[in-house]
Amino acid sequence: MFDGYRMLPDKVLITDHNGTVVDIADTADAGDDVKTVAGILSPGFINCHCHLELSHMKGVIEEHTGLLKFVNQIVSKRYAHPEAIPAAIESAELAMVKNGIVAVGDICNTTDTLFQKTKGHLYYHNFVEVIGFEPVQAQQHFDSYRAIYDDYCRHFDAQQVSLTPHAPYSVSTPLWKLLAAFPGNGLLSIHNQETEDETEWFLNGTGGFKALYERLQLNEVPVVPEGRTSLQTYGNYLPQGQRLLFIHNVFTTAEDIRYAQDRFPEASWCLCANANYYITNRLPDIPMLQGAGIRLVLGTDSLASNYSLSIWDEILRIRQHYPQIPVEQMLSWATINGAKALQIQDQYGSFEKGKTPGVVQIVNDTINRLV
């Protein structure tokens, strides 16, 4: 049994009929009514980064295009078949449930997923994602996404909704400042250092984003390069101690991590290994991240850039590239670390008395949802 922190041999998990943890007992003290199952018992998985509303785009975009081409195809093909969106969302959520996921940090550009989320099958933190390139239109962009944020707040507790930046290259400096000042933003998520082009722009004002901004014929670039990495640029717009989920981190450096540890000590760093492989065929330097002592968590990203919405499949991808990382450690990323990242560790992430974290059986690299 894995309790969220460590493997516990010769222990028995005791729950009530609702799946609430009553105790973890020694085998000798557990009584006679004990069911033995093969494999590993684990708390339910936390998917810290998903785009449920893109589920209808599975297989639409080919692999290894690079991020800029991938994003361009998302924009151009997203609404090619709008009639397919609701059924794909419903099917994708069902798959997450079957794959042992109990809670999701979900990116929302629209209200397309509300109809499914309100059924209550999974816990959601809804990150209403803000994009706005033109600095002069910052307030206009903010107001349009604020309306979507308000829609989610009508259905969810305000603590489950954030108005969050998309990425360093797609949010103008004035828009950053509006987001930083927004009182509802206790937890933010950002696509961080996913592509080398991002680093080239922020350090040198060159690369793929320079070409993108020229193609968009912007009157003014979103963020003027200051000769610092993206993280060390936008980090200064945010209040000290801001709770953050850094997503992807493929080109994050040790210096970036030291900066973030000082300014945002409660930040979590989300790995989306299958999406990184799908889009750019490059994974982060996970051993370097691991060695820095930061809180690592896992996400699936969307079915537009993945083969499944399965946290265990993310672990398998990481294991393929970095076989030296113990499964026990990756399971902690998938459970208690993810729960802490979404601020739901009182209910999810570990087998501790009084929690209802879900119970997952892992056997022969397959997942069975038991509770």
pLDDT tens sequence across 255-278: 999 999 999 999 999 999 999 999
Domains of the chain (ranges; CATH) run 1-43+349-371 (2.30.40.10), 45-347 (3.20.20.140)
The answer on pLDDT for 93 being more than 80 is yes
**In this predicted model, what pLDDT tens digit does every residue of 341-369 receive, in sequence order?**
999 999 999 999 999 999 999 999 999 99
Contact (CB, 8 A) for 117 and 160: no
DSSP labels, 48-95: EEE-GGGGGGTTTS-SS--HHHHHHHHHHHTTS-GGGHHHHHHHHHHH
Q: What 3-state class would DSSP assign to 130?
A: strand
Percentage, residues of the chain above pLDDT 70: 100
The pLDDT assigned to 129 comes to 98
Answer left, alpha or beta for residue 89, where phi above 0 means left and psi between -120 and 50 means alpha.
alpha
Q: Which of 223, 291, 225, 305 is nearest to 258 (CA)?
A: 291
Q: What is the DSSP letter of 335?
A: I
The pLDDT assigned to 28 comes to 80
The pTM assigned to this predicted structure is 0.97
The answer on pLDDT for 32 being more than 80 is no
**In this predicted model, what pLDDT tens digit does every residue of 196-221 receive, in sequence order?**
999 999 999 999 999 999 999 999 99
Q: How many Å apart are CA 90 and CA 73, to the nearest integer?
A: 23
pLDDT band at 30 (very low <50, low <70, confident <90, very high): confident
Q: How many Å apart are CA 152 and CA 238, to the nearest integer?
A: 23
pLDDT band at 180 (very low <50, low <70, confident <90, very high): very high
Average pLDDT of the residues of the chain = 97
The pLDDT assigned to 288 comes to 98
Contact (CB, 8 A) for 142 and 181: no
The pLDDT assigned to 33 comes to 82
Q: Report strand pairing: 243-248 vs 268-271.
A: parallel
In this structure, what are the phi and psi dihedrals at residue 14, rounded to the nearest 5 degrees?
-115, 120
Percentage, residues of the chain above pLDDT 90: 96
Answer left, alpha or beta for residue 103, where phi above 0 means left and psi between -120 and 50 means alpha.
beta
